[in-house]
């Protein structure tokens, strides 16, 4: 297995055959800047051509987490031994799609429990060797400010344990099917991870398979005046050499506490991205700002880096970096979330029935609910697990925190009004 890891260490400049940079580097703590050795094609009007389909589903399927497991320390890259565990998990996943018969003549099952093509991705994409998407502060998010923490702890969504549901105001923007928010929309989810780029003179369009299309001018025009806002913010792009830089302000501000739907905001990080703070209740202030940098490091790879800064909510900015892999055969299908969203109504009916039973003395109100699992981490990197560990196996001591029980953001469930 170590040979597989070694085979993937060199990234080549597209079309030149020259080694652009060693990935992973010899120093596993370092993180080289994205290589600009590769020169992309140009559009007819002279911009670098980033058009194509760039799904990021393999990152989620490989369980490469957003926040770094603590056992990796300051390392940006896994060791050969850790990578071998990821590769073994990828082989088991690919085997779920196998057809034909096994050595005993029994038919191999085909089901959607794994991911097709994970082994090839692991062998060819250097990101498969990374310890996390988050690259600042040893891969850990900075603490929330007291103001941000208070709003997070009292927020409401379908992910919060012990919460009653009485109206759409008890649900987040993703529950209600109108936005995953920003920058949450730019990180891998458990499904529907397609990204497609279109370009025209003066514009670049980033189309997301799940809830969102960003039409971004490439100009120096000013951002919208306050208080005009949008779920995906107001973006302006410019070129710095071969890198596209996108500055975004005017992101929909608000929190998950208010009952005024017009003043609610999406969390900048969504629980459907593995290993982010729970409950989807982190607020967004009117000072939130992002800088994204897209660099094509080869004909089939874009390195995407984003720095998020909201000084009212986080005590420091944080930066994530991941690779987008080209797959122009990837198909987008309609994400008809709102049209089929019956769950909000079902949650409300079930919650009101429970409240009635409590009032009648049939329930105590202290019964556990299915949301209690969201207060604890439930995605684990195969590289941190014992050999041949299956899904649901507890991590070894020290993998995710000093006490081996939980990552740094795992806090008690919030004190939700009306609970």
Token representation of residue 316: 């420091």
Residue 394 has pLDDT above 90, yes or no: no
Max avg pLDDT among 117-121, 172-176, 244-248: 244-248
Are 308 and 290 in contact by the 8 Å Cβ rule? The answer is yes
Cα–Cα distance, 281 to 184 (Å, whole number): 12
Residue 243 has pLDDT above 60, yes or no: yes
- Residues whose CB is less than 8 angstroms from the CB of residue 132 and which lie 6 or more positions away in sequence, other chains included: 64, 65, 66, 67, 68, 69, 72, 76, 139, 275
Cα–Cα distance, 198 to 208 (Å, whole number): 11
Residue 296 has pLDDT above 70, yes or no: yes
Are 216 and 239 in contact by the 8 Å Cβ rule? The answer is no
Of the chain, the end-to-end C-alpha distance in Å amounts to 51
Is residue 32 in a domain?
no
Whole-number pLDDT of residue 1: 39
Is residue 339 in a domain?
no
pLDDT tier, 107 (very low <50, low <70, confident <90, very high otherwise): low
Is residue 114 in a domain?
no
pLDDT tier, 2 (very low <50, low <70, confident <90, very high otherwise): very low
Whole-number pLDDT of residue 404: 39
The pLDDT tens digits for 301-320 are 999 999 999 999 999 999 99
Is residue 411 in a domain?
no
- Residue 293 sits at φ, ψ, to 5 deg, of -130, 120
Whole-number pLDDT of residue 319: 98
In 272-342, alpha helices (H):
none
Are 209 and 195 in contact by the 8 Å Cβ rule? The answer is yes
Is residue 93 in a domain?
no
Q: Count how many domains the chain has.
A: 1
Is residue 211 in a domain?
yes
Of 292, 78, 76, nearest to 183 by C-alpha is 292
Token representation of residue 144: 């929330």
Domain that holds residue 263: 137-325
Is residue 270 in a domain?
yes
The pLDDT tens digits for 337-361 are 877 788 899 999 999 999 999 999 9
Is residue 248 in a domain?
yes
In 36-102, alpha helices (H):
57-61, 80-95
């Amino acid at each position: 297995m170590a040979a597989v890891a070694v085979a993937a260490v060199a990234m080549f400049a597209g079309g030149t055959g020259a080694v652009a940079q060693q990935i992973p580097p010899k120093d596993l703590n370092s993180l080289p800047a994205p290589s600009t050795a590769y020169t992309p094609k140009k559009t007819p009007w002279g911009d670098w051509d980033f058009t194509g389909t760039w799904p990021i589903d393999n990152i989620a399927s490989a369980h490469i987490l957003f926040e770094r497991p603590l056992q990796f320390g300051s390392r940006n890259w896994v060791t050969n031994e850790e990578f071998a565990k990821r590769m073994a998990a990828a082989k088991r996943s690919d085997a779920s799609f196998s057809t034909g018969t096994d050595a005993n003549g029994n038919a191999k099952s085909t089901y959607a429990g794994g991911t097709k093509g994970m082994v090839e991705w692991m062998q060819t994409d250097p990101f498969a060797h990374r310890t996390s998407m988050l690259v600042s502060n040893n891969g850990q998010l900075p603490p929330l400010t007291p103001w941000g923490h208070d709003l997070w702890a009292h927020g409401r969504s379908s992910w919060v344990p012990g919460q009653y549901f009485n109206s759409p105001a008890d649900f987040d923007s993703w529950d209600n099917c109108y936005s995953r928010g920003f920058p949450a929309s730019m990180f891998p989810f458990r499904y529907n991870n397609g990204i497609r780029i279109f370009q025209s003179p003066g514009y670049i369009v980033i189309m997301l398979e799940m809830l969102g299309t960003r039409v971004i001018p490439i100009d120096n025009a000013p951002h919208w005046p306050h208080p005009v806002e949008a779920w995906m913010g107001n973006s302006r792009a410019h070129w710095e050499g071969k890198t596209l830089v996108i500055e975004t302000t005017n992101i929909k501000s608000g929190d998950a506490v208010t009952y005024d739907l017009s003043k609610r905001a999406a969390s900048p990080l969504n629980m459907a991205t593995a290993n982010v703070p729970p409950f989807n209740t982190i607020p967004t202030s009117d000072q939130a700002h992002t800088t994204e940098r897209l660099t094509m490091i080869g004909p089939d790879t874009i390195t995407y880096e984003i720095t998020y800064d909201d000084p009212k909510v986080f005590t420091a900015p944080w930066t994530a970096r991941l690779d987008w892999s080209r797959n122009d055969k990837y198909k987008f299908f309609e994400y008809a979330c709102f049209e089929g969203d019956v769950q909000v109504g079902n949650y409300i009916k079930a919650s009101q029935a429970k409240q009635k039973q409590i009032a009648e003395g049939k329930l105590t109100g202290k019964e556990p609910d299915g949301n209690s699992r969201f207060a604890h981490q439930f995605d684990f990197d195969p590289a941190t697990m014992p050999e041949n560990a299956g899904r649901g196996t507890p991590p070894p001591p020290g993998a995710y925190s000093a006490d081996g029980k939980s990552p740094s953001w795992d806090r008690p469930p919030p004190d939700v009004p009306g609970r």
